[in-house]
A and B are shown apart, each in its own frame.
Chain A
Amino acid sequence: MGYKVVFEQANAILAELSKEYDIYAPKRFSKQGRYSDTDIIRYDLINKVEDIVFDEKSDYPAKEVITPITQSLFYFTEDEYRESKTKNKPILIFMRPCDINAMEHQNQIYLKNGGFEDFYYKRVQDRVKIVLMECTSGWDTCFCVSMNANKSEHYSLAVRHQEGELMIEVKDEAFAPYFADAQEEPFHVEFIEKNQIEVTIPKIKDKATLNALKKHPMWQEFNKRCISCGACTIACSTCTCFTTTDIIYNENANVGERKRTSASCQIEGFSDMAGGHSFRPTTGDRMRYKILHKFHDYKARFKDYHMCVGCGRCTSRCPECISVTATVKKMADAIEEIEAKGEE
C-alpha cells in the first residue's frame, strides 16, 4: 500500500510510532566533523522528519545502532558476572539498501558463524524493523550495484523523500494502522541501477593465486600511504571485529566491567599474542588482509556474496585518499599478472 504524507503529517505519524519504537535515522551533527566547520552525519534517535538527512550519505553506517562502537558485556562486583541489560522497546531504523545488505552480513557473522549466536547482537537485532530509504542516484564513492547490494526486499516501510513530503510504501501490514488517515497514492520504492563507479571484482581461482597475490608488490604502496588510523573500519557498513577488554573502576578496584569495542585489523597489534608473536607487521600487510576479506575470504567461507556492499564510506573517510575501488582494480591487474606468469 502506498501513501503520500506532507512533513507535518509525517511528524504526527512519527510521534505515534515513537510510542512503540525507538526510531533511528541518519542525523546531522552541525560542526562536529573532523575538520573545522564541517558537519558529521551519523545515526541517532530522531523524533521529526526534518531530523533525517535524506540528501547526503551518512558518514557512519547504520550498524552502529545494533553494534555500537563500544558496549558493556558484563558488570563485575568482586567475582560476580552480571550481564549488561538492554531495553525491550522495538527499534525502527531508516536504512539505505547498502546498509540493509550490510546487516545481512552482520547477521551471518554474529548469528550464524560457527553455530554460535551472539547474545548481545541478537537481543538488539530481534527488535529491529527497517524503513528503507530510497536511494536512486548515490554519490561519487558508491559502487553498490557492482556489489549486488543496491536492492533489498527486507523492509517494513520504504520512503521516498520529496520536497516537503514523503512517499511511503507499507509492506508490513502491522504498520498500516499508523497510515489510516494518510492519503493513498500508489508508490513502490525504486533502486539505483548504475553508479558513477563500476568495479568488476576479480576471481581468485585457487590458493596458489591467492598466496601469490598476498606476496605481490602492489600492497607495498600502502606502506607509504596508509597511516593505520582505522577510520575505514569505523566507517565500514560490514566490519564486525571487536576486542574485549576488562576495566576496573577507579573508585573501587573490586568493581569493573567487561567491554566490547570495535577493533580494526588496520591497526598494528590486531593479532598480537601475549607470548610475543605478531602477524602482519606492515600497513601494506594489513591493507591486503582487509581488502581480501571484503572481496574474497568472506565469500569463500559463506558462499553467497562478497562482504563489501559498495557503500564507499571507507573511501570517503580515508584521510590519505585511498580509494577502495582503485585498490580492487589494482588487485585485478595483479591477479592478471600472476595468472599470465603462471601460464608462461
Chain B
Amino acid sequence: MNNPVKPVPCKIIDVKKESALEYTFRVESDIKPDHGQFLQLSIPKIGEAPISVSAHGDGWMDFTIRSVGKVTDEIFNKGAGDTLFLRGPYGKGWPLEKEFKGKHLVVITGGTGLAPVRSMLNTCFENDGYVKSLSLISGFKNEEGIIFKEELKKWKEKFTTYYTLDKDQIDGWNVGFVTDLVKEIPFDSFDGNYAVVIVGPPMMMKFTAEKAMSLGVPTEKIWVSFERKMSCAIGKCGHCRIDETYVCLDGPVFNYTTAKDLLD
C-alpha cells in the first residue's frame, strides 16, 4: 500500500546564501513540479514544513528558505552532500499555460514572496514572446532582505522592473511599499489582455489587490498564492482549511475571485 506521507531522501547539491536570513538549497531530484507548487521538506526527528519550489531544472530543484522555525533552522545546519527528505509536489501552481501565456503579465511580490514566482519569471525570461510583456514590482523590507540579487539584475534586461525597499535608500531602487508602485503599471494599454500575480504576506496581498482593483483591474485577472500551516499537505490534517477550501489541495495559488472571500 502506498503511503503518501513517506518522504524520499534527496542529496543537497549546493547551498547559496541569498540574504541574511534566506538560503537557497539545491537538491538532486527528478521531480518536475509545476511553477508555484510546493513540497513537504522533512527531517527525521525534527519535523516537516511546506516549502515552495523556487526553481527547478533537469535533475534538480531549488528551495529558498527563511530560517524561522524548527524545521528550517535544522535545514540551515545542512550543507552540500547532506540529505534532505521530501515528499510532493503538492497543490495547484500558477496557470501559466492556460491563463498567462501570450498576455501582459504583471508580477508583484513582497519579500520572500519572490521565491514562488521565480521559476515562472525565468521561464518568461528565457522564452522570448512567451508573454507579451512582463512588469515586475518587487519590494523588500531592507537591503539585507533582498533575495535573488543576480536575477533581479538580469530580469531588468527584458522586464519592466520596479524594485523598492520599505524605508532604506539604495541606488536605482525606490523607497516605499509595492502598493505605491501599482499605479505605474499601464493597465489601460494592455487592452484587457493581462494577468496580475501577487505574492507576499497576507496583508500585502490584500492591500495590493485592492489597489489594483481600485485602478480598474477586474478581480478575475488577479492571482495570489497563500501560505498556511500544514501537517500533511494531502487534505487530512485540517490546519490549512479556510471554509470549504483546503490550501494544500485547492491552492496555494488562487484566483482572487476565490481568494478575496477566504477569510480565516
Q: Is B246 an interface residue (CB 8 A)?
A: yes
Q: Is A177 an interface residue (CB 8 A)?
A: no
Main secondary structure of the interface of B (DSSP, over half): loop
CB distance from B127 to the nearest CB of A (A): 31
Chain B's closest residue to A109 (CB) is B236
Known: A113-B236, A300-B244. A246 touches B47 (CB 8 A): yes
Q: Is B218 an interface residue (CB 8 A)?
A: no
The reply to whether A242 and B202 contact each other, CB–CB distance below 8 Å, is no
The reply to whether A211 and B72 contact each other, CB–CB distance below 8 Å, is no
The count of chain B contact residues (Cβ–Cβ below 8 Å) is 47
The reply to whether B236 and A271 contact each other, CB–CB distance below 8 Å, is no
Which chain B residues in 57-89 approach chain A with CB under 8 Å?
66, 68-72, 83, 85
CB distance from B35 to the nearest CB of A (A): 20
CB distance from A242 to the nearest CB of B (A): 5
The reply to whether A277 and B202 contact each other, CB–CB distance below 8 Å, is yes
Chain B's closest residue to A207 (CB) is B261
The reply to whether B2 and A119 contact each other, CB–CB distance below 8 Å, is yes
Q: Is A79 an interface residue (CB 8 A)?
A: yes
CB distance from A218 to the nearest CB of B (A): 16
Known: A76-B45, A79-B44. A297 touches B243 (CB 8 A): yes
CB distance from A91 to the nearest CB of B (A): 17
The reply to whether B248 and A81 contact each other, CB–CB distance below 8 Å, is no
CB distance from B238 to the nearest CB of A (A): 3
Tell me the bound Cα distance from A253 to B4 in angstroms.
Answer: 26
The reply to whether B231 and A279 contact each other, CB–CB distance below 8 Å, is no
Indicate the member of A211, A263, A271 with the most B CB atoms within 10 Å.
A271
Q: What residues on B are CB-neighbors of A76 within 8 Å?
A: 44-45
The reply to whether A114 and B72 contact each other, CB–CB distance below 8 Å, is no
The reply to whether B246 and A113 contact each other, CB–CB distance below 8 Å, is yes
Q: Is A292 an interface residue (CB 8 A)?
A: yes
Known: A83-B3, A246-B47, A274-B70. A240 touches B244 (CB 8 A): no
Taken residue by residue from 81 to 122, chain A's Cβ proximity to chain B (1 for < 8 Å, 0 otherwise) reads as 101000000000000000000000000011001101111011
- Say which residue of A80, A210, A276, A279 sits within 8 Å of B243 (CB atoms): A210
Known: A274-B49, A275-B66. A242 touches B237 (CB 8 A): yes
Q: What residues on A are CB-neighbors of B43 within 8 Å?
A: 246
Tell me the bound Cα distance from A297 to B264 in angstroms.
Answer: 12
Which chain B residues in 226-264 approach chain A with CB under 8 Å?
227-229, 231-232, 234-241, 243-246, 248-249, 261, 263-264
The count of chain A contact residues (Cβ–Cβ below 8 Å) is 57
Q: Is B7 an interface residue (CB 8 A)?
A: yes
Tell me the bound Cα distance from A248 to B43 in angstroms.
Answer: 12
Tell me the bound Cα distance from A84 to B187 in angstroms.
Answer: 56
Q: Is B102 an interface residue (CB 8 A)?
A: no
Q: Is A32 an interface residue (CB 8 A)?
A: no
Q: What residues on B are CB-neighbors of A79 within 8 Å?
A: 9, 44, 83, 85
Tell me the bound Cα distance from A121 to B1 in angstroms.
Answer: 12
The reply to whether A117 and B4 contact each other, CB–CB distance below 8 Å, is yes
The reply to whether A114 and B231 contact each other, CB–CB distance below 8 Å, is no
The reply to whether A244 and B47 contact each other, CB–CB distance below 8 Å, is yes
Tell me the bound Cα distance from A294 to B246 in angstroms.
Answer: 15
Chain B's closest residue to A280 (CB) is B264
CB distance from B79 to the nearest CB of A (A): 15
Tell me the bound Cα distance from A81 to B45 in angstroms.
Answer: 10
Tell me the bound Cα distance from A297 to B241 in angstroms.
Answer: 10
The reply to whether A292 and B243 contact each other, CB–CB distance below 8 Å, is yes
Chain A's closest residue to B245 (CB) is A301
Q: Is A180 an interface residue (CB 8 A)?
A: no
Q: What residues on B are CB-neighbors of A270 within 8 Å?
A: 229, 239
Q: What residues on A are CB-neighbors of B240 within 8 Å?
A: 271
Q: What residues on B are CB-neighbors of A109 within 8 Å?
A: 235-236
Chain B's closest residue to A275 (CB) is B68
The reply to whether B1 and A123 contact each other, CB–CB distance below 8 Å, is yes
Q: What residues on A are CB-neighbors of B1 within 8 Å?
A: 119, 122-123
The reply to whether B4 and A271 contact each other, CB–CB distance below 8 Å, is no
Q: What residues on B are CB-neighbors of A260 within 8 Å?
A: 231
Q: What residues on A are CB-neighbors of B229 within 8 Å?
A: 270-273
Tell me the bound Cα distance from A273 to B229 in angstroms.
Answer: 5
Which chain B residues in 1-56 approach chain A with CB under 8 Å?
1-7, 9, 43-49
Query: What are 27 A-B pairs at a CB distance below 8 A?
Result: A73-B5, A74-B44, A76-B44, A80-B44, A81-B44, A113-B246, A116-B235, A116-B236, A118-B5, A119-B3, A119-B6, A122-B1, A240-B236, A240-B238, A241-B239, A253-B45, A256-B44, A258-B47, A271-B240, A273-B227, A274-B71, A275-B69, A277-B202, A285-B264, A300-B243, A301-B244, A301-B245
Residues of A within 8 A of B (CB): 73-74, 76, 78-81, 83, 109-110, 113-114, 116-119, 121-123, 207, 210-211, 214, 240-248, 253, 256, 258, 260, 263, 265, 270-277, 279-280, 285, 289, 292-293, 296-298, 300-301
Instruction: Please list the 9 inter-chain residue pairs (A to B) with the smallest Cβ-Cβ separation, ordered nearest first.
Output: A274-B69, A241-B238, A114-B235, A301-B244, A279-B264, A116-B234, A300-B244, A119-B3, A114-B249
